[in-house]
Amino acid sequence: MAKVSIVGAGNVGATAALYISQGGYADVTLVDIVSGMPQGKALDLYEATPIMGADCKLAGSEDFGAIEGSDVVVVTSGFPRKPGMSRDDLLQKNAEIVGGVAEQIRRHAPNAIVVMVSNPLDVMAYHAMAVTGFPRERVLGMAGVLDSARFRSFLAEAIGVSVSDVMAMVLGGHGDSMVPLTRYANVGGVPVSELLPAETLAKIVQRTRDGGAEIVALLKTGSAFYAPGASVAQMVESIVRDKKRLLPAAAFLSGEYGISGVFLGVPVVIGRRGVERIVELSLTAEEKAALDRSANEVRETIAKLPKA
């Protein structure tokens, strides 16, 4: 059985652990600094496994040594966004936390693949890669699956079709500059432009960009965790089972799409080795300009990272 460790046993981490354990394809270890919390949540989840029919082990610990031997380490730790707070506002606080976690991963799980969830996502993935020293294939960010799921759900609702038949992809940074690709979105192969007027599509694109903030505003005391947890589980399953799913994820670019030196949401093939291939789509001039703007925003935020 593969071993997946999740650093941060809050709502996102615990929900990801639930979805992964339901799948029955990995043992899960939750790690958190809050005394008793990871152990309590792991025990509660383990007691649910007979009902789920999942023969996997769940454990919790406050000791980073518990991640030893992990095939995948998911990082969800950090401060969540609050109403009125942008992802960039989280930078200084979360950079310190993620940097410390990355050092522990380097020490205790040197062969693991890292899936970054903490915000600002693209910059924290960059920070984790720099601190761990891992090759770019073994560090990736979750947000593309999440943003695309939001895009797909909004499209399905507007068109009045099953979400299962909607295929759509969001590229770029996990923030206000993300690039939902309406041109590639379809329902059972039918372009969404044939099913919705342009003004409706534009509103859906904006709602996708505001998807996280919309939930933060409604919850008032937290941020999304069901959809992020499910997104993590889909990526982890593709790694552990070597499914080679083509999914949008934050990957480190070295010339792909004419961009270098940043993590950015792009289509990637995800398998046992992590990012096995970056797929370069043919973009219009407008789409390419939007992706470049998004990359520049990520690059500007990377420049604000605390100096080591």
The pLDDT value given to residue 81: 64
Q: Which two tokens stand for residue 173?
A: 């940074």
Torsions phi, psi for 282 (to 5 deg): -80, 120
Report the amino acid identity of residue 107: R
The pLDDT value given to residue 137: 98
The pLDDT value given to residue 306: 77
Mean pLDDT over 249-253 rounds to: 98
Q: Which two tokens stand for residue 14?
A: 């615990």
The 3-state DSSP class for residue 63 equals coil
The pLDDT value given to residue 91: 87
Q: Would you place residue 134 in the very low, low, confident or very high pLDDT band (cuts 50, 70, 90)?
A: very high
- Taking only the tens place, the pLDDT of each residue in 139-155 is 999 999 999 999 999 99
* CATH of the structural domain 2-142, one choice from 3.40.50.300, 3.40.50.20, 3.40.190.290, 3.40.50.720: 3.40.50.720
Catalytic residue among 87, 127, 174, 299: 174
The residue with tokens 């605390």 is 306
Query: What sign does the CA torsion over 74, 78, 82, 84 have?
Result: negative
- Taking only the tens place, the pLDDT of each residue in 234-248 is 999 999 999 999 999
The pLDDT value given to residue 222: 85
Residue 308 confidence (pLDDT) above 60: no
Identify whether 108 is a catalytic site residue: no
First to last CA, the chain: 37
Residue 80 confidence (pLDDT) above 90: no
Q: Would you place residue 115 in the very low, low, confident or very high pLDDT band (cuts 50, 70, 90)?
A: very high
Instruction: Provide the mean pLDDT of the chain.
Output: 95
CA distance 14 to 195: 38
Number of C-alpha atoms within 13 angstroms, CB side, residue 298? Answer: 33
The pLDDT value given to residue 259: 98
CA distance 125 to 305: 12
Report the amino acid identity of residue 237: E
The pLDDT value given to residue 83: 67
Residue 82 confidence (pLDDT) above 70: no
The pLDDT value given to residue 205: 97
Residue 188 confidence (pLDDT) above 90: yes
Every domain of the chain with CATH number 3.40.50.720 lies at: 2-142
The pLDDT value given to residue 88: 64
Q: Hey, what CATH class is 144-302 in? A: alpha beta
Residue 291 confidence (pLDDT) above 90: yes
Mean pLDDT over 209-213 rounds to: 94
Mean pLDDT over 195-218 rounds to: 96
- Taking only the tens place, the pLDDT of each residue in 153-172 is 999 999 999 999 999 999 99
Every domain of the chain with CATH number 3.90.110.10 lies at: 144-302
Mean pLDDT over 80-88 rounds to: 66
As a whole-number percent, the residues of the chain with pLDDT over 90 amount to: 90
The pLDDT value given to residue 176: 86
The pLDDT value given to residue 149: 98
Residue 132 confidence (pLDDT) above 90: yes
The pLDDT value given to residue 79: 83
The 3-state DSSP class for residue 48 equals helix
Mean pLDDT over 50-77 rounds to: 97
As a whole-number percent, the residues of the chain with pLDDT over 70 amount to: 97
